[in-house]
Amino acid sequence: MPKRRDGTRPDHGAGLAGFGRYAGPATLILSSLADGPKHGYALTKDVEEFAGVRLAPGTLYEALARLESQGLIEALESEDRRRPYRLTAAGAVALQAHLDAQRRVTDTGLRRLAANWGTA
């Protein structure tokens, strides 16, 4: 496994690294559920509001199924046809790890832009 410049090895098992192309929708869904339980439509509206991204139904429900199968979210009982989901403790840990990793990428990109392009 390659090392970073600081000599540490990246922890590819942390966060949402195993989600591949679903990491983006997973991050948005987990971030939404960090605010409390929501059903699919409420998730879509919340994500659209805070991220400016509209998750297509297929993308949303595929990501929900993956997150639930990994134990990162759980479905709650419902009295109507809408199925609310909530973040699990494991989901909160995974989201925190993923967001910390993304913060490092963001900080690096902004630092490099400032140094080489006079921006950021």
The total number of residues shown for the chain amounts to 120
In a domain, 100, yes or no: yes
In a domain, 10, yes or no: no
SS (H, E, C) 28-54: HHHHHHCCCCECHHHHHHHHHHHHCCC
In a domain, 26, yes or no: yes
Domain count for the chain, please give it: 1
Query: What would the pLDDT profile of 58-88 be if each residue is shown by its tens digit?
Result: 999 999 999 999 999 999 998 888 999 999 9
In a domain, 4, yes or no: no
In a domain, 40, yes or no: yes
* Domain limits for position 112: 17-117
Considering the entire predicted model, what is its pTM?
0.81
Query: Any idea what the CATH number is for the domain that residue 105 is in?
Result: 1.10.10.10
Query: What would the pLDDT profile of 32-54 be if each residue is shown by its tens digit?
Result: 999 999 999 999 999 999 999 99
In a domain, 23, yes or no: yes
CA distance linking residue 85 with residue 66, whole number of Å = 13
Helix axes 23-33, 40-51, angle to 10 degrees: 100
